Chains A and B, each alone.
Chain A
Amino acid sequence: DQQVKQNSPSLSVQEGRISILNCDYTNSMFDYFLWYKKYPAEGPTFLISISSIKDKNEDGRFTVFLNKSAKHLSLHIVPSQPGDSAVYFCAASAYGANNLFFGTGTRLTVIP
């Protein structure tokens, strides 16, 4: 049973435009959310995170938004670059637990 869901398996965006990747979760105990980026033949690498006490966290071109009432978070990449082409995984954890629950991933393609 997927507790973290990424309903869009793929997304294509023109270089320079905004990429918006979405994630939904079902477990109300989740209080920490992360995005990981994965290139082919490599392991996922940490990108950005957000605690449930915030609704926005920004790091350069990457911003994560959290809507707790909707159990929804999104990752915005502005401006998108060809090097951003990768699979993006959303992940969540509950307070006091250090295991992460991951979504199925969204493959982002940034077209030059």
Chain B
Amino acid sequence: DAGVIQSPRHEVTEMGQEVTLRCKPISGHNSLFWYRQTMMRGLELLIYFNNNVPIDDSGMPEDRFSAKMPNASFSTLKIQPSEPRDSAVYFCASSQSYGYTFGSGTRLTVV
């Protein structure tokens, strides 16, 4: 298995633009998580899905953030419009039980 695959690895965008981050979880994992890593707060949970259904999105910072999981093998995290304070590394992880497998992350820079 190739593990959790995230794309792109790096994204640089201008303030106000729409950004879409993508994630392919490990086949057979029924939970998918989006995290954001910052120096101040470490790894923050943004949203997670069980069996493609959003369970808890209380970590999504504001309405500019949205996430979808149209099927078991794909999820997106969208920021529209993006702002400089959204600059961070965004991780996707998938899980079957307690153990998470993380992707390599997307480093987002909003200028």
Enumerate chain A interface residues (CB-CB to B < 8 A): 2, 6, 32, 34, 36, 41-46, 49, 89, 91, 93, 98-105
Contact = CB atoms under 8 A, between A and B. Distances in A.
Interface of B: 4, 31, 33, 35, 39-45, 48, 50, 55-56, 91, 93, 95, 97-105
A102 B98 contact: no
A2 B100 CA distance: 20
A63 B16 CA distance: 47
Contact of A98 (B35, B41, B42, B97): B97
A98 B91 contact: no
B102 A44 contact: yes
B45 A98 contact: no
A41 B91 CA distance: 11
Contacts of B39: 104
B50 A98 contact: yes
A34 B75 CA distance: 25
Given A98-B95, A102-B35, A43 B102 contact: yes
Given A43-B105, A93-B98, 18 more contacts: A34-B98, A36-B100, A36-B102, A41-B105, A42-B104, A42-B105, A44-B43, A45-B102, A46-B101, A49-B99, A89-B43, A98-B98, A100-B45, A101-B45, A102-B35, A102-B42, A104-B41, A104-B42
B99 A43 contact: no
Nearest to B10: A41
Contacts of B103: 43
Given A41-B104, A43-B104, A44-B91, A89 B42 contact: yes
Given A32-B98, A43-B91, A43-B105, A105 B42 contact: yes
Given A98-B97, A100-B100, A6 B91 contact: no
A101 B101 CA distance: 15
Nearest to A101: B45
